[in-house]
Amino acid sequence: MQGDDELRRDPWVGANLFDPALRANPHPALARLRELDPVNETPLGFWRLTRYDDVLRLLREVPTGMRRADGSLPGRERIAFDVGPGEFMLQQDPPNHTRLRKLVSKAFTPRAIERIRPSVQKLVDGLLDAVEDRGELDVIADLALPVPSTVICEMMGVPLADRPRFTDWTADATHLLAAQFSPPEVLQRGLEGAGQLAAYFVPLIEERRRSLSDDLLSELIRAEEAGDRLSPSELLAHAIGLLIAGFETTIGLIGNGMLALLRNPGELQRLRDDPRLIGSAVEECLRYDGPILATVRILREDTVFGGKTIPRDSQVSAMIGVANRDPARFPDPTRFDVGRTPNEHLAFGGGVHFCLGAHLARMESQITIGTLVRRFPKLELATDAPLEYGRSLFRVLARLPVRVGRA
């Protein structure tokens, strides 16, 4: 059979996400993988799940963790750095994960996020005021980056003037989350970025100790000073991790979402005609082309998926990007539909590691995309050239030039 021949020729089934050629549009290759080999063991030894039901089961039902049974973190042996992603809550298991997440979760509750909505709206309005007369803007540099980075800086108590210093550091450091798969040069950039972030935060933390406030960094310091809740290395790791998580993926959500709207002018006009659709429109942006294509879990026991037994302690990649386009779950899944309902996508993961910043990312994206669409009746791509993606592990556009106008 043709499918069997293809599997023998290429165990990646043409869907190796480490291949730069797939960066711009991985979705056709991922759909082909789901069709031919939905439970796939890669040449690197980890497994991939591509069907919605399998991914959902892995994230919410199957006993899994972020670490092996012996407590080790995959890829940690490649990170010659004392403080890194291994210290961050994202790569911890309960009960340690529960302890760490509880320390910061109150800053990201729906109620807490709604309190800052007016200030985010004011920020977006000001950014658009600054570009209105130019007739053109870069969605990334002018909106998608400054909105979430400004917000997380203000939440954490990080000086906004320092933002240009750590923009590249955070993008590079994301690759430490996939250290076992990153090429040596990419891993080295990630280590250098993490080193720069650590060097930045150490004096800032010491300065904040002398004058605690009501920001998130002060709360982390108070927890560290309590002794039994946060160690000094955990404090540093969470200062770095929260800064990265606070804006890197949201840049991708806003940029990829606006690109989808621009490439689907009928849906763009539909949203403009009915601004009440902004909530469902952002959910569709997350489903259709979210910034995170996969998230990894480690099995706690032998588990069967699609008739294949995956051994205990295996790394399994939940391919949320392709699961969110599974026709068994989403009718006409390759169609971008700003009013799609229901839309139970998996862009924020699931289980105990469900994205802590989901409410924040949604709110920032709703305001940014909604205000841009409402304010400018004319919105169109300002280039025919292929779009480039940035340095991040995630799918984050480097630039998105757009012509804007009142008519």
Q: Is residue 309 part of a domain?
A: yes
For residues 30 and 53, give the distance between their C-alpha atoms in angstroms, rounded to a whole number: 16
231 lies in a domain?
yes
DSSP letter at 180 equals T
User: In this structure, are residues 170 and 239 in contact, taking their beta carbons and an 8 Å threshold?
Assistant: no
Asked if residue 78 is part of any domain, the answer here is no
Q: Phi/psi at 263 (nearest 5 deg)?
A: -85, -5
pTM of the complete model? 0.95
Tell me whether residue 38 is in a domain. Answer: yes
333-375: pLDDT as tens digits: 999 999 999 999 999 999 999 999 999 999 999 999 999 999 9
Residue with tokens 């210290």, as numbered in its chain: 87
Query: Which whole-number Å values give the CA distances from 238 to 194, 198, 220, in the listed order?
Result: 12, 11, 8
Q: What percent of the chain has pLDDT over 70?
A: 95
Are 284 and 340 within 8 A, CB to CB? yes
Q: Which residues contact 67 (CB under 8 A, 6 or more apart)?
A: 73, 74, 91, 92, 93, 298
- The answer to whether residue 79 is domain-embedded is no
pLDDT for 270-312, tens place per residue? 999 999 999 999 999 999 999 999 999 999 999 999 999 999 9
Residue 272 lies in a domain: yes
**Encoding tokens for residue 113?**
């996020």
Give the β-pairing of 64-65 and 295-299.
antiparallel
Residue numbers of the domain that contains 380:
2-15+22-73+84-405
Which residues, in sequence order, are bridge partners of residue 318?
Answer: 49, 295
CATH number at residue 326: 1.10.630.10
Domain count of the fold of the chain: 1
166-202 tens-digit pLDDT? 889 999 999 888 887 888 898 899 999 999 999 999 9
pLDDT digits (tens, 9 = 90+) for 135-175: 999 999 999 999 999 999 999 999 999 988 888 999 999 98
Indicate the SS3 state at residue 331. coil
Residue 189 inside a domain? The answer is yes
202 found inside a domain:
yes
